[in-house]
Amino acid sequence: MPDAKVAQKAPYVMEMEPKKYAWCACGLSQNQPFCDGSHKGTGLSPIIEEITESKRVAWCGCKQSGNKPFCDGTHSRL
């Protein structure tokens, strides 16, 4: 499997509303942290995550988290 591009070395912390989100797993999207279709041809696919209640979310920005699509602090070791 190809490696994802590091979009940023910090999480995207956002207030989210209940719905399904497509988290960018390749790091190429111009709409980070969400997918814009830039992964086509990379062998990577977005992760679909359903948020069921309004809450603050720390989406992984480095694309290396062990808890994708959420930040687990991996960016601090890059």
What global pTM score does this model have?
0.94
List Cβ neighbours of 23 (8 Å cut-off, separation of 6 or more).
33, 34, 35, 46, 47, 48, 49, 59, 60, 68, 69
pLDDT digits (tens, 9 = 90+) for 40-58: 999 999 999 999 999 999 9
Span 68-74, average pLDDT: 97
The per-residue pLDDT for 2 is 72
Predicted confidence (pLDDT) at residue 1 exceeds the cutoff of 70: no
User: Using one digit for the tens of pLDDT, what is the confidence trace for 8-33?
Assistant: 999 999 999 999 999 999 999 999 99
For the chain, the domains span 12-73
Helix, strand, coil percentages for the chain (3-state, nearest 5): 5, 30, 65
